Amino acid sequence: MCSADVSSYDACARVVEKTLARFGRIDSLVNNAGIIQPISLVSNSDPADWRYNLEVNLIGPFNLIRAALSHLRMQKGRVVNVSSGAANLALENISAYCTAKAALNHFTRVLAAEESALTVLTVRPGVVDTAMQTYIRREGSKAMPTEQAAYYQQLKDQGQLEAPETPARSIAWLALHAPLDWSGRFLNYDDPDIVSGVRNWAAIF
């Protein structure tokens, strides 16, 4: 395992180099790194924090894709960009995150048009019980209206957050088996076609 700040192209290029040194090829790429902060109204947001959100959530996927693209072409590979339902919603206090994910969806569509031999798509993973949700519950009450903050707490209290392995199975299946004619699409992790593919895939093992 190697870690890197995906906002840095040089760091992403080193990850690609290490991957090639270890495995000799790149068949698929999943862009899953993401941050929610800043949680703030636009009028109160720190410009540097707002920019860094886009650098991780949007520029990060570009960096890794750009660094790996020639190798993905060799394998007619797949790129899965993990997006969010926030891409299609105007959610107060998380403007950078909403904007970055909306841009990521469109970047994916453009890349799919440019790279016709690759399967490139975005996926909505649902609302998942991760460190990001913990951060929202801890910090959201400082900036969000009471009702908005209470909603995120309710998701946890009522067991409405997905376990990480649930969308992870869908993302893994997409990285290995997503058909070319899905390229450019924004998919839900629980899309019936994906769920069926995961079920059949699991049955093999």
Distance, in Å, from the CA atom of 198 to the CA atom of 194, rounded to the nearest integer, reads 6
Answer yes or no: 101 catalytic.
Answer: yes
Per residue in 101-160, pLDDT (tens digit) is 999 999 999 999 999 999 999 999 999 999 999 999 999 989 999 999 999 999 999 999
DSSP 58: I
Answer yes or no: 83 catalytic.
Answer: yes
pLDDT of residue 2: 83
Annotated catalytic residue, options 40, 101, 152, 189:
101
Distance, in Å, from the CA atom of 65 to the CA atom of 1, rounded to the nearest integer, reads 19
Per residue in 28-61, pLDDT (tens digit) is 999 999 999 999 999 999 999 999 999 999 999 9
How far the first Cα of the chain sits from its last, in Å, is 25
Across the chain, what does the average pLDDT equal? 95
Annotated catalytic residue, options 97, 170, 183, 189:
97
Residues forming beta bridges with residue 94, ordered by sequence position: 40
pLDDT of residue 203: 67
> 9-204: what fold?
Rossmann fold (3.40.50)
